């Protein structure tokens, strides 16, 4: 586990629009979930959300800043991005 590679920063750019980018990002979401399950198994949901926001990149954090989420849960965060895109 010492050599576990984190997912790359997410690239939201696409010539076909944001919704198409997010669909293609399904692999990234899967990689992120696997990373969180392996590297952060014992961490809190808040810590997982922080890691998700770090790895999603600058553009993803700009999008996140437009959300009005209540309790910060990882699934709520992923759902918010799904709905936004």
Domain assignment present for residue 40? The answer is yes
Q: At what angle do helices 45-64 and 26-39 cross, to 10 degrees?
A: 150
pLDDT tens digits, 25-63: 777 888 888 999 999 999 999 999 999 999 888 988 999
Domain assignment present for residue 7? The answer is no
Domain assignment present for residue 75? The answer is yes
Domain assignment present for residue 64? The answer is yes
Q: Please enumerate in sequence order all residues whose Cβ is within 8 A of that of 11, keeping only pairs 6 or more positions apart, or say none.
A: 21, 57, 59
Give, rounded to a whole angstrom, the gap between the first and last alpha carbons of the chain.
Answer: 33
Range of the domain at 66: 18-84
pLDDT tens digits, 60-72: 899 999 998 887 8
Domain assignment present for residue 3? The answer is no
At residue 52, φ and ψ (nearest 5 deg) are -55, -50
Q: Are 7 and 35 in contact (CB under 8 A)?
A: yes
Structure tokens at 24: 């293609």
- In total, how many domains does the chain have? 1
Question: By three-state DSSP, how is residue 73 classified?
Answer: coil
């Amino acid at each position: 586990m010492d050599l576990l590679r984190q997912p790359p920063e997410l690239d939201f750019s696409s010539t076909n629009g944001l919704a198409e980018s997010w669909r293609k990002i399904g692999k990234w979401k899967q990689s992120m979930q696997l990373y969180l399950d392996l590297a952060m198994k014992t961490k809190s949901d808040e810590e997982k959300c922080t890691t998700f926001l770090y790895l999603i990149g600058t553009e993803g954090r700009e999008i996140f800043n437009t959300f009005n989420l209540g309790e910060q849960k990882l699934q709520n965060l992923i759902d918010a991005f799904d709905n936004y895109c």
